[in-house]
Structure 1
Amino acid sequence: MTTPPLILLAAGGTGGHLFPAEALGVELIKRGYRVRLATDSRALRYSGLFTQDMTDLVPSETVRGRDPVSLARTAVMLGYGLVVALGLVRRLKPAAVVGFGGYPTLPPLLAARLLGVPGIIHDANAVLGRANRFLSGRVNAIATSLPGVLDRDPALAGKTVTVGTPMRPAVLAAAAVPYEAPQANGPLRVLVVGGSQGARVMSDIVPPAIERLEPALWSRLVLTQQVREEDMARVRAVYDKLKINAEFAPFFSDLPARLAQNHLVVSRSGAGTVAELAAIGRPSILVPLPGAIDQDQFANAGVLSGADGAVRIVQSEFTPDRLASEISAFAAEPAQLAAMAAKARSVGRLDAAERLADLVAKVAGI
Structure 2
Amino acid sequence: MQNAPLILLAAGGTGGHLFPAEALGVELMKRGMRVRLATDARALRYSGLFTRELIDVVPSETVRGRNPLALAHTAVKLAAGTAVALDLMRRLKPKAVAGFGGYPTLPPLLAARLFRIPSVIHDSNAVLGRANRLLSGGVSAIATSLPGVLDRDAALAGKTTTTGTPMRPAIVAAAATPFVAPEPAGPLRVLVVGGSQGARVMSDVVPGAIERLEPALWRRLKLVQQVRDEDMARVRAVYDRLKLDAELAPFFSDLPARLAASHLVISRSGAGTVAELGAVGRPSILVPLPGSIDQDQFANAGVLAEAGGAIRIAQGDFTPDRLAAEISTLAAEPARLTTMAAAARTVGKLDAAERLADLVMKVAGI
Quickly name the TM-score band, shorter chain normalised. over 0.9
Q: Distance in 1 between matches of 2:363 and 2:77?
A: 30
Question: Cα offset for 1:45?
Answer: 2.1
TM-score with structure 2 setting the length: 0.98
Residue identity (%): 79
- 1:111 aligned residue: 111
The 5 Å alignment of 1:173-184 reads 173-184=173-184
Letter in 2 for 1:329: T
Q: Distance in 1 between matches of 2:187 and 2:45?
A: 33
Q: Distance in 2 between matches of 1:92 and 1:248?
A: 44
Is 1:339 matched up with 2:336? no
Q: Distance in 2 between matches of 1:44 and 1:126?
A: 28
**5+ long unaligned stretches in structure 1:** none
Q: Distance in 2 between matches of 1:249 and 1:145?
A: 30
1:276-328 Cα distance to aligned partner (Å, 9 max, x none): 10010000000001011111101100111001100000000000000011111
Extract structure 1 runs of 4+ deviating beyond 4 A: none
Is 1:280 matched up with 2:271? no
Aligned-residue CA RMSD (Å) = 1.0
Q: Distance in 2 between matches of 1:45 and 1:256?
A: 19
Is 1:27 matched up with 2:27? yes
- 2:190 aligned residue: 190
1:198-255 Cα distance to aligned partner (Å, 9 max, x none): 1111111111111111111111111101111111111111111111111112122221
- 1:155 aligned residue: 155
Stretch deviating more after TM superposition (284-293 or 150-159) = 150-159
Question: Cα offset for 1:24?
Answer: 0.3
The 5 Å alignment of 1:55-134 reads 55-134=55-134
Stretch deviating more after TM superposition (50-59 or 129-138) = 50-59
- Secondary structure of the 1:122 match is strand
- Secondary structure of the 2:251 match is coil
Is 1:244 matched up with 2:244? yes
- 1:39 aligned residue: 39
- 1:325 aligned residue: 325
1:30-58 Cα distance to aligned partner (Å, 9 max, x none): 00100011111111222121111111111
Q: Distance in 2 between matches of 1:114 and 1:122?
A: 20
Stretch deviating more after TM superposition (22-31 or 2-11) = 2-11
The 5 Å alignment of 1:132-143 reads 132-143=132-143
TM-score with structure 1 setting the length: 0.98
Question: Cα offset for 1:147?
Answer: 1.2
Q: Distance in 2 between matches of 1:77 and 1:119?
A: 22
Question: Cα offset for 1:2?
Answer: 7.1
- 1:204 aligned residue: 204
**5+ long unaligned stretches in structure 2:** none
Q: Distance in 1 between matches of 2:293 and 2:41?
A: 25
- Secondary structure of the 1:204 match is helix
Aligned length in residues: 366
- 1:228 aligned residue: 228
